[in-house]
DNA sequence: AGCCAGGCAGAGA
DNA sequence: TCTCTGCATGGC
């Protein structure tokens, strides 16, 4: 619920090599918006504003009591050390520019349902379009989230039970087309308790992937996105059209490898932090192609 | 105007 | 197992 009065909580987060723009606007999450010099979004049901700092961190603001801020620091993965990841990844010449330029990018620890639903809606859609459909889904079926008047209104991501209770036409009205029955079918399976998204992170990556791929509209790529962006499996390596192209350029010059070949290669080549390599390459390739606005960037890269 | 987008599922070889 | 196709919608 928007309101014009009320107090604000502020926390200075001290962290090096953290770039909010490349983290929040690299196609992992679809709800963050750049407004008046800060990134605004909803994390664990709370409205949050994040303002870039002087290079040694950033500033976080909420309008409800944030407690110890642990929920936000966990979501943003501020505990992750990019230097350790850089040492773990292979020193391939073709990979190095992406690793160096995207050092400040973190993999978020998102809520599984929002992540899964968003990526079901992502298939053969451009990121700008995914953002629009997800926004429409929240506007129609989410609940009000308290925020400053000048930032609102803001809605939560609809709970799985809410989506499960809708009809296919309600979802199609959001502009998601043929993905509507996939989202509805998955929502109903999750809401019924047949699949427990919260427990996926406690299982092996292979088990969690199999569970996700049993859901309608979820294949290998979308399953890997959920493993990587919400379950903490940093070795997961989603292969989409961008990654297919960029890995083709670097590792398969002169031919066009099949997706299955690239998936198998990535699985054995990049190691325990392969997912970071994947996101570095994805963001780097999209930035190179001029598909990232990069607001608030310092001009020095990602 | 036409090609393509952070794919998936089903059919046929 | 691999390849091909239909699927809604809209950006560039």
Helix axis angle, A112-120 to A180-191, nearest 10°: 160
Q: What pLDDT shows up at residue A5? A: 62
List, for residues A146-170, the tens digit of each pLDDT value: 999 999 899 999 999 999 999 999 9
Which residues of chain A fall short of a pLDDT of 70?
1-5, 297-302
Residue environment code for A116-130, b if the CB has 16+ CB neighbours within 10 A, otherwise e: bbbbbbbbebeeeeb
Q: What pLDDT shows up at residue A82? A: 98
Burial of A152 (0-12, 13-18, 19+ CB in 10 A): middle
Is the CB of residue A126 inside 7 Å of nucleic acid strand C?
yes
Q: Which nucleotide is nearest to A291 (CA to C1')?
A: C12
Q: Where are the alpha helices (DSSP H) in chain A?
A: 20-24, 70-76, 82-88, 96-101, 112-120, 127-141, 160-164, 168-172, 180-191, 205-213, 220-229, 241-251, 259-269, 274-288
Confidence (pTM):
0.96
Residue A39 CA distance to nucleotide C11 C1' (Å): 24
Q: Which nucleotide is nearest to A127 (CA to C1')?
A: B6
Strand C bases within 7 angstroms of protein beta carbons:
1-3, 7-12
Q: What pLDDT shows up at residue A297? A: 64
Residue A241 CA distance to nucleotide B3 C1' (Å): 15
Residue A5 CA distance to nucleotide B5 C1' (Å): 42
Is the CB of residue A260 inside 7 Å of nucleic acid strand C?
yes
Is the CB of residue A241 inside 7 Å of nucleic acid strand C?
no
Strand B bases within 7 angstroms of protein beta carbons:
4-9
Closest residue, by C-alpha, to the C1' of C8: A177
- Encoded tokens for A54: 């002087």
Residue A75 CA distance to nucleotide B11 C1' (Å): 42
Q: Which nucleotide is nearest to A239 (CA to C1')?
A: B6
Phi first, then psi, for residue A255 (nearest 5°) are: -150, 175
């Amino acid at each position: 619920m928007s309101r014009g009065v009320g107090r604000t909580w502020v926390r200075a987060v001290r962290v090096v090599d953290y770039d909010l723009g490349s983290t929040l606007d690299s196609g992992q999450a679809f709800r963050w918006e750049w407004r008046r010099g800060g990134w605004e979004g909803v994390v664990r049901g709370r409205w949050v504003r994040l303002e870039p700092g002087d290079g040694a961190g950033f500033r976080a603001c909420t309008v409800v009591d944030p407690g110890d801020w642990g929920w936000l620091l966990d979501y943003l993965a501020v505990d992750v050390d990019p230097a350790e990841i850089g040492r773990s990844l292979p020193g391939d010449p073709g990979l190095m520019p992406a690793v160096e330029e995207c050092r400040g990018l973190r993999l978020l620890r998102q809520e599984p349902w929002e992540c899964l639903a968003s990526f079901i809606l992502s298939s053969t859609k451009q990121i700008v379009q995914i953002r629009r459909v997800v926004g429409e889904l929240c506007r129609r079926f989410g609940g009000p989230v308290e925020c400053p008047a000048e930032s609102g209104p803001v809605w939560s991501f609809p709970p799985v039970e809410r989506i499960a209770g809708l009809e296919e036409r309600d979802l199609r009205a959001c502009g998601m087309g043929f993905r509507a029955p996939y989202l509805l079918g998955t929502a109903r399976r999750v809401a019924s308790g047949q699949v427990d998204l919260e427990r996926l992170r406690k299982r092996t990556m292979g088990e969690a992937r199999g569970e996700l791929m049993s859901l309608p509209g979820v294949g290998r790529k979308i399953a890997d996105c959920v493993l990587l962006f919400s379950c903490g499996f940093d070795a997961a390596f989603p292969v989409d059209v961008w990654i297919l192209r960029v890995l083709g350029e670097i590792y398969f010059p002169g031919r066009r490898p099949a997706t299955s070949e690239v998936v198998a290669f990535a699985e054995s080549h990049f190691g325990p932090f392969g997912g970071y390599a994947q996101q570095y390459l994805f963001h780097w390739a999209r930035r190179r192609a001029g598909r990232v606005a990069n607001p608030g960037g310092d001009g020095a890269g990602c």
